[in-house]
Amino acid sequence: MFQQLIKGFFFFCTLGLIQTVKANVSLPAVLSDNMVLQQNSELSFWGWAKPGEEITITTGWNTVQKVKATNQGTWSLLIKTPIGSMTPYSISIKGYNEVVLKNVLVGEVWICSGQSNMEWSANSPITNKDEEIKQANFPNIRFFSVEHRTALSPQIDLAGKWVECTPSSMQNFSAIGYFFARKIQSSLNVPIGVINSSWGGTPAESWMPAEAFEGNGLITEAAQKLTPVPWGPVEIARIYNAMIEPLTQFKIAGALWYQGESNVGTAYAYKATMTALISSWRKKWGNDFPFYYCQIAPYRYGKPMEGAELRDAQRRTLDVPQTGMVVTSDIGDTSDIHPRNKLDVGLRLADLALNQHYKMNQDQVSGPLYKESRVEGNHITVFFDNANGLNFKGSKLTHFEIAGEDGVFYPAEAKINPDNTIEVQAEKVKKPASLRFAWSNTATPNLFNGAGLPASCFLSF
């Protein structure tokens, strides 16, 4: 009996060894069933195998390519994808074993990232939750949710999987990512893949590779001021290493970002931080993709004006090429850091992408943005971009302030001129030197353009 047990033990060990030797080809989690690949592109396929193993990749759009694994047991090659369509494909990756990816679509892929307002799902909840969940049957929209993880060094894989958009999957996915995908999919009529890699309550510094801080004293100093919190990491690169780096070989069309609430204490460095983050991501992906982000909504932060200072830093980040910003001052909730209206946020992001990236319309897709101001006697004339059809809601235009050379600001009267400039003056300031707009944590100004989009706060110096 003992000998039979021993023989059985060795049989199963040998069988396991044979299976280990032959079952060598494996893929990262992001290359899996139900995924969406970026259309009309040359993109990377990669994975692991036995050193020297020959890998043959056969796609459903009739391409066959071969590659040998390196002596480190890794392999990668470039594959051309067709124009996007609703046709599902299979992809075979064959070595000693064969992995077949099923129900693969080709279309547009976006990554959405940031903290809780990007992570916020329909179940969290959102406005009109039940109806939105009920209607979420879009098999040509696919979701990939990255599980929360940290790492001290850059990782080669992560945890997550692709799923079709159904009422069941949608209700646990980023609501903003879903609404963005729904608008883009209906406009382009191609499949849309959205990767959500977000973590509530986390600062931008954790989402950046460590090398982004090298030689940059300002953002390094700001990072050192971050204090530990119980709900997530604040250390530099900890989230990036585990939740972004493993995705950087996966081709994307662009990135969506909603973050900043955890950085209000270091708003002075936020423009530099975001500039470095955007640059580092583009460098890692090897692509200057569009980067569209949300300005944080009005909220009762602890220190006076720190929310406005962070919002203005976000506005000034627009000088980074191929960026766009959604203003949310009209759809926020000053008593709740998580506004429930995620629909309009997602749609505004989609309109930015359709206008700037996909060149599908020439409509105004951004609210009025401060351009310049001129002191003219006892008043200041303000010029805006995206200013066609300037208007205000209510009895008068609000939230403008003027200061003289002493730097003391006073409430000001403002009026819209026929040329879509704004004339501002304050009775207590005879010689104006500067002005500011919506400069408080909870400011909900009433200035809009003809597209119904709100103006961003600003400080004129």
SS (H, E, C) the chain: CHHHHHHHHHHHHHHHHHHHHHCCCECCCCCCCCCEEECCCEEEEEEECCCCCEEEEEECCCCEEEEECCCCCEEEEEEECCCCEEEEEEEEEECCCEEEEEEEEEEEEEEEEECHHHHCECCCCCCCHHHHHHCCCEEEEEEEECCCCCCCCCCCCCCCCEEEECHHHHCCCEHHHHHHHHHHHHHHCCCEEEEEEECCCCCHHHHCCHHHHCCCHHHHHHHHCCCCECCECCCCCHHHHHHHHHHCCCCCCEEEEECCHHHHHHHHHHHHHHHHHHHHHHHHHCCCCCEEEECCCCCCCCCCCHHHHHHHHHHHHHHCCCEEEECCCCCCCCCCCCCCCCHHHHHHHHHHHHHHHCCCCCCCCCCCEEEEEEEECCEEEEEEECCCCCEECCCCCCCEEEECCCCCEEECEEEECCCCCEEEECCCCCCCCEEEECCCCCCCCCEECCCCCECCCEECC
To the nearest whole percent, how much of the chain has pLDDT over 70? 95
Q: Are residues 40 and 157 in the same domain?
A: no
Q: Are residues 202 and 327 in the same domain?
A: yes
Q: Is 292's pLDDT higher than 50? A: yes
Residue 24: per-residue pLDDT: 86
Q: Are residues 289 and 350 in the same domain?
A: yes
Q: Is 46's pLDDT higher than 80? A: yes
Residue 310: per-residue pLDDT: 98
Within-domain flag for 64: yes
Q: Are residues 331 and 388 in the same domain?
A: no
Residue 362: per-residue pLDDT: 84
**Domain with 446 in it:** 370-459
CATH of the domain at 51: 2.60.40.10
Give tens-digit pLDDT for 328-371. Answer: 999 999 999 999 999 999 999 999 999 999 999 888 999 999 99
Q: Are residues 29 and 76 in the same domain?
A: yes
Give tens-digit pLDDT for 312-340. Answer: 999 999 999 999 999 999 999 999 999 99
Q: Is 186's pLDDT higher than 50? A: yes
Residue 342: per-residue pLDDT: 98
For residue 9, give every residue at least 6 positions away whose Cβ sits within 8 Å of its Cβ, in sequence order, or none.
none
Within-domain flag for 151: yes
Q: Is 220's pLDDT higher than 50? A: yes
Contact 234, 226 (CB under 8 A): yes
Q: Are residues 33 and 134 in the same domain?
A: no
Domain boundary among 104, 136, 164: 104
Q: Are residues 277 and 386 in the same domain?
A: no
Within-domain flag for 247: yes
Q: Are residues 214 and 119 in the same domain?
A: yes
Question: Of the given ranges (15-19, 65-69, 111-115, 451-455), which has the lowest mean pLDDT?
Answer: 15-19
Domain boundary among 291, 326, 357: 357
Q: Are residues 133 and 110 in the same domain?
A: yes
Within-domain flag for 347: yes
Q: Are residues 163 and 129 in the same domain?
A: yes
Within-domain flag for 10: no
Domain boundary among 81, 104, 127: 104
What is the rounded distance in angstroms from the CA atom of residue 314 to the CA atom of residue 274?
8
The mean of the pLDDT values for the chain is 94
Q: How many domains does the chain have?
A: 3
Residue 49: per-residue pLDDT: 97
Q: Are residues 65 and 155 in the same domain?
A: no
Give tens-digit pLDDT for 391-422. Answer: 999 999 999 999 999 999 999 999 999 999 99
Give tens-digit pLDDT for 240-290. Answer: 999 999 999 999 999 999 999 999 999 999 999 999 999 999 999 999 999
Find where tokens 């071969």 sit: 66
Q: Is 2's pLDDT higher than 80? A: no
For residue 240 the two structure tokens come to: 């990036």
Average pLDDT on 162-178 reads: 98
Average pLDDT on 32-40 reads: 98
Within-domain flag for 365: no
Task: From residue 291, give the alpha-carbon distance in Å to each of 22, 52, 268, 326, 349.
Answer: 43, 39, 21, 11, 10
Average pLDDT on 190-198 reads: 98
To the nearest whole percent, how much of the chain has pLDDT over 90? 94
Within-domain flag for 5: no
Q: Are residues 208 and 158 in the same domain?
A: yes
Q: Is 11's pLDDT higher than 50? A: no
Average pLDDT on 118-124 reads: 97
**Total number of residues shown for the chain:** 461
Within-domain flag for 4: no
Residue 401: per-residue pLDDT: 98
